[in-house]
Amino acid sequence: MEFSAPYFLFLGDARDPLSVKTSRGIADWRPDKCIGEISMPDCPLTLGLPQITFAEAAAKGAKTFVLGLANRGGFIAPEWVPYLMEALAHGMDIASGLHGKVADIPEVKQLADKLGRRIFDVRHPTGTLDVGSGRKRAGKRILAVGTDCSVGKMYTTLAIESELKVRGEKTDFRATGQTGILINGQGISVDAVVADFISGAVEMLSPANDPDHWDVIEGQGSLFHPSYAGVSLGLLHGSQADVLILCHQVGRTHVRKLEELPLPDFKSCIETNLAAARLTNPDVIWGGISVNSSALGEEEALEYCREMSALHNVPCVDPVRHGTAALVDYILEHKGTTA
Amino acid sequence: MEFSAPYFLFLGDARDPLSVKTSRGIADWRPDKCIGEISMPDCPLTLGLPQITFAEAAAKGAKTFVLGLANRGGFIAPEWVPYLMEALAHGMDIASGLHGKVADIPEVKQLADKLGRRIFDVRHPTGTLDVGSGRKRAGKRILAVGTDCSVGKMYTTLAIESELKVRGEKTDFRATGQTGILINGQGISVDAVVADFISGAVEMLSPANDPDHWDVIEGQGSLFHPSYAGVSLGLLHGSQADVLILCHQVGRTHVRKLEELPLPDFKSCIETNLAAARLTNPDVIWGGISVNSSALGEEEALEYCREMSALHNVPCVDPVRHGTAALVDYILEHKGTTA
């Protein structure tokens, strides 16, 4: 699933900054691909992009109208439909990360078909997948794994990709969830594929590449989350990761939404992930720890990372506060030379 | 997904006994539910059931016409369609285990809709699933796990269910693949659900039950198979198994269709499965080993099972040759009293 830049971002009638965090992610991580934003009259939010009309966006070459917003239930609100029709009429494709499918709205689908525009409902994988082969592919791969869901795996992998680019390395971020796909313009929602094809989808998402090329693969879920662990294991096997980065939210002690289940400690969490990953890549290493330390003050966060790094003999950073240079230094030192 | 007995079994134009092994499974495991069989004129095979016409089957009360056969590609052959139409006309629903969907054949679908008959394409799960909750459910559960795919997990669990019935225990076989579903008349193809719902599907398949009731859950794949391990892990977490039975085909040394990957030994295989299973049931135990020993002679097979049992301190049987009494003895001894 791959859609075209530049993007024209739609904020709808959102009033809560959290509900447009996907759009904000696109604007933050791919500013060069964002041509402008548009919102409904009662929306008080902005991404800081030029606020322009459909005609202006079209004149500036906008290729895709992006719904990077959330609402209760994840459906396409009827009030948004006129905006979708305008986008199509102005020559744009549509990409949406909502549960409800844009392609299921008859009038939008009909106009898109008539005009030859494409609709990307990125939560709903399309195309033919194959089961995973487990066969070794060329190129190097970094995968984020977590002590839980929603602990910063996407942010961490996007930040590592940026840092690798700064170092002049060949690299691609590989998105496995709807927000990552909207930010990146391509990817596969691996938790939405048929169960038999989880590892196969990841093999397709991260194909053979140059021996010195880095795929930085967004993780999903956790091997210790009883709802989603199957997806996480398929990701481990399909990615054939050379390097695992362990992600954690400081202060989280129990599995999200399952308060009776304590989180694993870093050591047993990474050992379990490494053991599973070795099935398809016996040379996988632990490349470091990435934490969301927002529960701590600046000094405490630095101290926490220093302690964890000393305890586990790998770098530990909060990518928002400290960047990912320490992780990338370590990765390049241990896996940087082409075998 | 649940369809009604008695069944009228269709052998089509099959010429290879292997291609009707699902029908044979139904006739072997659920003889009381099979009213008869019908095949095309050039089919040399029989299940040993009464060979009767549609009218005779209808007169005997047949409720479901079952396509328990395979062909290259798994599609519904055009030559079979007249038989499907006859079945509908004679008051039967249709159940099929093929990849191709009966419901996708317009004339069959139209007639079924018109007559109010149901079509069960058991490889294609229907209905609304939820993500797994991980919350403990009442009742006891046995799950088959494997050193690989296709090592006898379905046969083992069906045989354990039979033996538990002989002992007067309350028990249900829970089918997780198309053959098991056709044999059992109900179940969910867990490898065909959306990846996010693997463990949730198993929670739905094996709901809370009496404290002294045994669900015997058919396993799928293997934690050590890089194509399917995600499904196997979701099954472990969703089943909350009290007892794992390790299945293996004697003589198999490498992962099926991935000849470069050696199989794990029993000890590391079961340890990995137990560690994963403990996430949702800390009290899970290893209940024994079930092997397909067809590569060995009778004496060798007995000797092999004796050796494995002595080595691992759990019973080891070939359920075809030795039955599952030793496994059930061990299970009832260790988990038989209601906590």
> Does B160 reach chain A within 8 Å, measured CB to CB?
no
The minimal CB distance from A191 to the residues B195, B233, B237 is found for: B195
Chain segment A8-39, per-residue pLDDT in tens: 999 999 999 889 989 999 999 999 999 999 99
pLDDT tops 50 at residue A209: yes
Q: How confident is the model at residue B339 (pLDDT cuts 50, 70, 90)?
A: very low
What's the token pair of residue B265?
């030994």
Q: Which tops the pLDDT comparison, B236 or B1?
A: B236
Mean pLDDT (chain B) is 95
pLDDT at B322: 97
CA distance A20 to B147: 46
First to last CA, chain A: 31
| Peptide linkage before B211 cis (omega within 30 of 0) | no
CA distance B175 to B187: 5
Chain A residue with minimum CA distance to B135:
A258
Strand order in the sheet with A140-146: A170-174, A213-217, A140-146, A243-249, A285-292, A316-317
pLDDT at A252: 94
pLDDT at A264: 96
CA distance B122 to B3: 10
Residue B58 CB partners (closer than 8 Å, separation 6+): B90, B91, B92
DSSP state of B135: -
CA dist A189 → A172, A181, A205, B38, B155 (Å): 17, 8, 10, 44, 35
* Three-state secondary-structure class, residue A172: strand
CA dihedral sign, ordered A192, A197, A199, A203: negative
CA distance B111 to B174: 31
Would you tell me how many other CB atoms lie within 10 Å of the CB of residue A103?
Answer: 18
- Percentage above 90 pLDDT, chain B: 91
Chain segment B69-87, per-residue pLDDT in tens: 988 888 999 999 999 999 9
B64 bridge partner residues: B7, B93
Chain B residue with minimum CA distance to A134:
B226
Q: How confident is the model at residue A1 (pLDDT cuts 50, 70, 90)?
A: confident
For A39, phi and psi rounded to 5 degrees? -140, 170
User: CB distance B279–A261 less than 8 Å?
Assistant: yes
User: CB distance B229–A237 less than 8 Å?
Assistant: yes
Helix (H) or strand (E) holding B114: helix B106-115
pLDDT at B89: 98
The minimal CB distance from B233 to the residues A192, A230, A261 is found for: A230
Chain B residue with minimum CA distance to A228:
B196
Burial A65-101 (b: 16+ CB within 10 A, else e): bbbbbbbeeeebeeebeebbebbbebbbbbbbbbbbb
pLDDT tops 80 at residue A102: yes
ipTM of the complex: 0.90
Mean pLDDT of the region A127-149: 94
Looking at residue B189, its amino acid is: S
pLDDT tops 50 at residue A122: yes
User: CB distance A230–B195 less than 8 Å?
Assistant: yes
pLDDT at A339: 47
∠ CA A71-A74-A79, rounded to 5°? 65
What's the token pair of residue A258?
């399952």
Tokens 């719904």, residue?
Answer: A67
B292 bridge partner residues: B249
User: CB distance A226–B195 less than 8 Å?
Assistant: no
Chain segment B262-271, per-residue pLDDT in tens: 999 999 999 9
pLDDT at B128: 87
> Does A148 reach chain B within 8 Å, measured CB to CB?
no
∠ CA B178-B180-B184, rounded to 5°? 115
Tokens 């998402």, residue?
Answer: A205
Mean pLDDT (chain A) is 95
Using CA atoms in the order B197, B113, A127, A173, what is the torsion angle rounded to 10 degrees? -30
Q: Which tops the pLDDT comparison, B128 or B228?
A: B228
Chain segment B242-255, per-residue pLDDT in tens: 999 999 999 999 99
State the alpha helices, DSSP H only, in A227-336. 229-239, 266-277, 298-312, 319-322, 325-335
Q: Find chain A residues with C-beta within 8 A of B229's C-beta.
A: 199, 233-234, 237, 276, 279
> Does A219 reach chain B within 8 Å, measured CB to CB?
no
pLDDT tops 50 at residue A243: yes
Q: Are B182 and B64 in contact (CB under 8 A)?
A: no
pLDDT tops 80 at residue B272: yes
Helix (H) or strand (E) holding B64: strand B64-67
Q: Find chain B residues with C-beta within 8 A of A261's C-beta.
A: 134, 279
Domains and CATH numbers, chain A: 7-121 (3.40.50.720), 140-335 (3.40.50.300)
Residue B117 CB partners (closer than 8 Å, separation 6+): B88, B91, B92, B93, B94, B111
Q: Find chain B residues with C-beta within 8 A of A130's C-beta.
A: none
- Percentage above 70 pLDDT, chain A: 99
B171 bridge partner residues: B214
Looking at residue A264, its amino acid is: P
Chain A residue with minimum CA distance to B134:
A226
pLDDT at B338: 58
Distance from CA of A51 to the nearest CA of B (A): 37
Q: How confident is the model at residue A338 (pLDDT cuts 50, 70, 90)?
A: low
Using CA atoms in the order B82, B88, B89, B90, what is the torsion angle rounded to 10 degrees? 110
**Biggest CA-to-CA distance, chain B:** 61
Would you tell me how many other CB atoms lie within 10 Å of the CB of residue B297?
Answer: 9
Q: Find chain B residues with C-beta within 8 A of A238's C-beta.
A: 226
pLDDT tops 80 at residue B94: yes
Residues 238-277 (B) with a CB less than 8 A from some CB of A: 238, 255, 258, 260-261, 272, 275-276
pLDDT at B308: 98
DSSP state of B51: B
- Percentage above 70 pLDDT, chain B: 99
The minimal CB distance from A258 to the residues B134, B197, B258 is found for: B134
Q: Strand A213-217 to strand A285-292: parallel, antiparallel, or no bridges (unpaired)?
A: unpaired
A198-202, B65-69, B123-127: least confident range? B123-127
pLDDT at A257: 83
Tokens 């029989």, residue?
Answer: B46
Chain segment A67-83, per-residue pLDDT in tens: 999 888 889 999 999 99
Distance from CA of B227 to the nearest CA of A (A): 4
Would you give the distance in Å from CA B254 to the centre of its chain? Answer: 23
Chain segment A263-282, per-residue pLDDT in tens: 999 999 999 999 999 999 99
Chain segment A294-325, per-residue pLDDT in tens: 999 999 999 999 999 999 999 999 999 999 99
